[in-house]
Amino acid sequence: MIDDNESTKIVLTTSVKPENIATRIDELKQQLSTLGANVQELIVKQNHIYSEMAQSMDQLKVKDLEELKKWAENEEKAAKNQYEFESETNENDYQLKLEKLKTRAKMLIKYKYEKIIKTMPEISEYFHQFQIPLFTTLSEIESFPDDDLSDVSIYMSQEPLLKCDDSISDLELIQNQKVPIFSVTQRSLRMGKTTFPVGCPVSITLQDLISMNATIASINPQKIAFDLENGVKFSVSLLMLNSGLVIMKKC
């Protein structure tokens, strides 16, 4: 309080005793000392709070590392499974496409075979007299569907695409000198000094595979017709003779 002389005086009320103040000061000093000790223990890492926190952090770290390791293993396993799945899928697709490619190639061969049968029935009838394994194999192959190559709008002309003179001119550029050149006259087929008239008996060999005896039935600049001994008729183009695909000799 301030007295008349404007000086400050401490007035102790009867509710606060000097011994209580001293006790309170001692308590505060004790708390401060304890707090200082705890701070010091934290600094030197000896406080139980620090130990508990450090232990908790170590446990969290171990847990996080285990979860991270487990995640990495799962990701690696998933990647391997994905790789194996895609590899197996790619292999299956490759095998399917390869098989489809082989099947399409076989179907194309059968398609050409069917076209030959339709355009040259006489020759087809003749060759079907023999036990040729190819015919059995072709019968087991599926044909192209009607909307594919089996029903193509193509004009099948009986006339050759090249004239006889044009064929001979082309053959002169690529011919093998060992292959004889046939030419057509009015009533005969000539090869060098040898003449093959109508009615001439000949021996015919197809690509060194099949030989047969026949008689020349007719001759024109496009094709030569033959009669086989069994009565079957067939024709051979002059181009086939001059290319060596068909070899003809006098009997």
Exposure class string for 144-181: b at 16+ Cβ within 10 A, else e:
beeeebeeeeeeeeeeeeeebeebbeebeeeeeeeebe
Q: Which CATH number fits domain 179-250: 2.30.30.100, 3.40.50.920, 2.160.10.10, 3.30.70.990?
A: 2.30.30.100
pLDDT band at 124 (very low <50, low <70, confident <90, very high): confident
pLDDT in tens, 207-228: 667 788 999 999 988 889 999 8
Q: Is 119's pLDDT higher than 70?
A: yes
In the chain, where the domains are located: 50-144, 179-250
User: CA–CA separation, 236 vs 195, rounded Å?
Assistant: 17
Answering whether pTM is above 0.85, one says no
User: CA–CA separation, 54 vs 146, rounded Å?
Assistant: 82
pLDDT in tens, 85-112: 999 989 988 898 888 888 888 888 888 8
What sign for the dihedral angle of Cα 194, 200, 201, 207? positive
pLDDT at 198: 92
